[in-house]
Amino acid sequence: MESMNISTSVSEFIMVGFSTFGHFRPLIFMVLLVIYFLIIFGNLSISVLILYDRHLQTPMYLFISMFSFLEILFTTVSIPFMLTNIWKGEVQIEFSHCMLQMYLLHSWGITENYLLNIMAYDRMVAICDPLRYHVIMTSNHCTVLLLSCWLLGFTSPIVHLVSVLKLPFCGPNTINHLFCDLFPLLKLACTDTSYTFILNFLISLCIISGTFLFIILTYLKVIFTILKIRCMDGRKKAFSTCASHLTIVLLFYGSLAFIYIRPRVDYTPEYDKIIAINYSVLIPFLNPIIYSFRNREIKNALKKLLKRKKRFITTFMPHGQNIIIRS
C-alpha cells in the first residue's frame, strides 16, 4: 500500500460540493435531511415487513428486502457526508477515508447491479417456468445467488481503487463534487490519466452493459411468454409483478450510464452533481415508494401489521376492556 502512494504528497482532500449554493444551503440541508430519514424509514420498513410476514418470505421478496438493505448502506455512506458538507460549507476528508468512501460506494452499487439481475432472473423463472419455480429457486440456490452478488460487489471495485492509489496527488486537493468518486479524483492527479480513465471506462462498460443486456434478454423472454397468455387478467397480473422491478432498473441503469460509461471526462461539476444526486438520493428514496404502492402483497402485509399494532395498543390501554366492548 505504501509503495503505491510513494509519490502522493496530498494527505487530505477538501470537498466543496455545495459551497456554490450560497443562501440556499439551509433549505437544501433540511430537505436532504428529511429525505434521508424517509429513505432509512422506508427501506427499513420494507425489509422488516418482509421478514415479519411469512407470506412474503419468498425468493422475490427476499431479493427486494436485500435491495432495500443495500440502499440503506449506500445512502449511509453518501448522504451524511453531503449533510456535513452543506452544514460546514466544505469538508476535509483524509486521503485514506476518501479511498474507503469511493470503494464502498462502488462496492454496494455493483452489488445492487448484480442483485437487479438476480431479480430479473427470478421473474423469468416465475413467469416462463412456473411449475418448476420452487424446484429451481430453492433456499440454497437463492443463498448462492446472493453470496455471488456480494462477492462480485466486493471484488469488482478493487481495480478502480488500485488504479487511483497508483496515481500521484501532489498539487490541488479541492474536489468539486458531493463525495469521493472516481472521475473527480482523476482530475486532481499530477499526471496523464488517459490510460487509467480508459481502463476504468472499459471495466464499467463491461459490467453495466453486460448486466443490462442480460436484463433485456430476460425480459424479452418474459414478454414473449406473457403475450402467449390468453387470459387478459393473467397478462395484467404477470406484467404487474415486473413493473416495479423494471422501473427501478430504468432509473438505476440510466444514472449509471450517464456517470460511468460516458466517453469523456470533461463534463461540468454541476452535471456530475445532478447525476450523483439522482443515483445516491432519488433512487433510494423512490425504491420503497415504488415497491409499496405498486405491490399488492406488500400493501396487504402493511395493513395487517397496522391492524395488529392497533389491536395491541387498544388491548393494553387503560380501561382497554371497556373500549373493546364498546367497539
Q: Hey, which bits of 39-137 come out as E strands?
A: 91-94
The pLDDT mean for the chain works out to 81
Q: Which of 26-30, 126-130, 148-152, 267-271 shows the highest mean pLDDT?
A: 148-152
Q: How far apart are CA 184 and CA 175, in angstroms?
A: 6
Confidence grade of residue 20 (pLDDT, cut at 50, 70, 90):
low
Question: Which pTM does this prediction carry?
Answer: 0.84
**Cα Rg of the chain (Å, integer):** 23
Q: Quick one: angle between helices 269-277 and 232-260, nearest 10?
A: 150
Q: How far apart are CA 41 and CA 44, in angstroms?
A: 5
Cell numbers standing for residue 294: 405498486
When divided into structural domains, the chain yields a total of 1
Q: Which domain holds residue 269?
A: 8-294
Q: Is residue 211 part of a domain?
A: yes
49 alpha carbon, distance to own chain's centre:
19
Average pLDDT over residues 123-145: 91
The H or E element containing residue 300 is helix 296-315
Confidence grade of residue 295 (pLDDT, cut at 50, 70, 90):
low
**CA dihedral sign of residues 128, 131, 132, 133:** positive
Of 54-68, 162-176, 263-277, give the lowest mean pLDDT range. 263-277
Q: Is residue 303 part of a domain?
A: no
Nearest to 37 by CA among 284, 213, 223: 284
Q: Is residue 252 part of a domain?
A: yes
Give pLDDT, residue 3. 42
Confidence grade of residue 318 (pLDDT, cut at 50, 70, 90):
low
Q: For the chain, how far is it from start to end, CA to CA, in angstroms?
A: 69
Confidence grade of residue 275 (pLDDT, cut at 50, 70, 90):
confident
Residues 49-95 have pLDDT tens digits of 888 777 778 888 889 889 999 999 999 999 998 888 888 777 888 98
Between 21 and 285, the more confident residue is 285
We report the CATH number of the domain holding residue 192 as 1.20.1070.10
Q: Is residue 300 part of a domain?
A: no
Q: How far apart are CA 94 and CA 3, in angstroms?
A: 18
Of 1-10, 146-155, 208-217, 277-286, give the lowest mean pLDDT range. 1-10
Query: Running DSSP on this structure, what letter comes out for residue 102?
Result: H
Q: Is residue 181 part of a domain?
A: yes
Q: Is residue 306 part of a domain?
A: no
Give pLDDT, residue 322. 45
Nearest to 156 by CA among 77, 81, 211, 231: 211
Q: Is residue 85 part of a domain?
A: yes
